[in-house]
Amino acid sequence: MQFYDRIRLELDELRTLGRYRVLPDISARNGKDIVVNGQNLLNLSSNDYLGLGDDKPMLAGYIQEFNATDHAMTSSSSRLLTGNHPLYGQLEQALATLYGREAALVFNSGYHANIGMLPALSGRHDLVLSDRLNHASIIDGMKIAEAPYQRYRHRDYGHLEELLVEAADRYRQIFIVTESVFSMDGDLADLAQLVALKEKYGAFLIVDEAHGVGVFGEHGLGLCETAGMVQKIDIITGTFGKALASTGAYAVMNSLVREYLLNTMRSIIFTTALPPVILGWSLLTLARQSAMHHERQELLRLASSLRHELLERGLDVPGDSHIVPVITGGNNLAVALAARLREAGFLCMPVRPPTVPEKSARIRISLRSNLQWDDIARIPELIGG
């Protein structure tokens, strides 16, 4: 079969399975709303959890400052050549200070962070143990790394300990990797238990706080702050591209690990640095979110109310966070439900395999602190009938 015939058939199969994807036509974002394919919808598929991306006065003030300071729109080089603008140092120092850690490192994206760290830190004499529902970027990082890996059952720390016992004295170093807030189920890792296992078995713990940063903790440091584990986790990663309404990602760690990553992590060494205009904006949003404790409380209260109403209707709604998934099982049902919500004025995108496991398609509702109950009150009836 010719190449083009084969991929055409594969695309036809994706359509049959309800897994075919197209890029939406996004023409405008207006605060809570978004215009998709010409239709104005309440945006419930955004990761702008604190609404900072809709803060027009803050943006206008930054643009004015940007013009005054003449930050460049491009770095034109990798950080190790000429792209290491002074704002990198300011941002990394701000992160280290906020977390009370020795050092921080900024990356171009969460994907860059996760595909780069494990290959840099681990080798064929090491072992990586990963939660089964970790993000695809973590899985890709494990595949790139030379180290063997195993996936423990989701949030099953008894299973994780069994794997740790089996691996004892067989590897140079064991790495445990988990998300804090799991992006598709909205449920939470038990960080205290993971730290206890790390300490008991001498493992190295990496926690991805992509969906926890800005939402959990007094200062928005994520679930690690809520659990009181900021100082006990070896590497905590976060993203600027979600609640912090910018671009890029970061990790906090000790200074030795930072030095090692700068010398070995290919997704830092071989990529163009972030533009200074982005670094300055990230500094601003990082500082702003650290004081948004009230907004965090309101966001989690809103999510709890929505989850309660959906559960009352007998729906399958896992999780304990601002991410509220409704499991449909079938792909076509998820697509049809998303269409029903869209007709009623809500953008709730269907999530299907391979993003989630087979037979666990869902509608994923992402809430923001600038939403009120009246904005979403019709959703339980629309979904549950």
Q: What is the mean pLDDT of residues 208-226?
A: 98
What number of residues does the chain have? 385
Q: What is the mean pLDDT of residues 121-145?
A: 97
Please say if the pLDDT value at position 127 is more than 80: yes
> Which of the two residues, 176 and 31, has the higher pLDDT score?
176
Instruction: Give tens-digit pLDDT for 78-112.
Output: 999 999 999 999 999 999 999 999 999 999 999 99
* Domain 61-289: CATH class, spelled out: alpha beta
Instruction: Give tens-digit pLDDT for 25-78.
Output: 998 777 799 999 999 999 999 999 999 998 999 999 999 988 888 788 999 999
Integer Cα distance of 126 and 148 in angstroms? 7
Instruction: Give tens-digit pLDDT for 287-310.
Output: 999 999 999 999 999 999 999 999
pLDDT-above-90 percentage for the chain: 93
Question: Which residue spans within the chain are E strands per DSSP?
Answer: 26-30, 33-36, 39-43, 103-107, 127-131, 149-152, 174-179, 204-208, 235-239, 249-253, 323-329, 346-347, 350-351, 361-366
Please say if the pLDDT value at position 198 is more than 80: yes
Please say if the pLDDT value at position 194 is more than 90: yes
Domain 18-50+293-384: assigned CATH number: 3.90.1150.10
Q: What is the pLDDT of residue 224?
A: 98
Q: What is the pLDDT of residue 385?
A: 72
Instruction: Give tens-digit pLDDT for 249-264.
Output: 999 999 999 999 999 9
Q: What is the pLDDT of residue 69?
A: 82
Domain boundaries, the chain: 18-50+293-384, 61-289
Contacts of 105 (CB under 8 A, 6+ apart): 92, 250, 251, 253, 258, 261, 262, 268
Q: What is the pLDDT of residue 68?
A: 81
The structure's pTM equals: 0.95
Q: What is the mean pLDDT of residues 139-147?
A: 98
β-bridge mates for residue 178, sequence order: 207
Q: What is the pLDDT of residue 31?
A: 79
Q: What is the pLDDT of residue 338?
A: 94
For the chain, the average pLDDT equals 96
DSSP classification of residue 233: -
* 7-11, 120-124, 203-207, 349-353, range with the lowest pLDDT: 349-353
Q: What is the pLDDT of residue 30?
A: 77
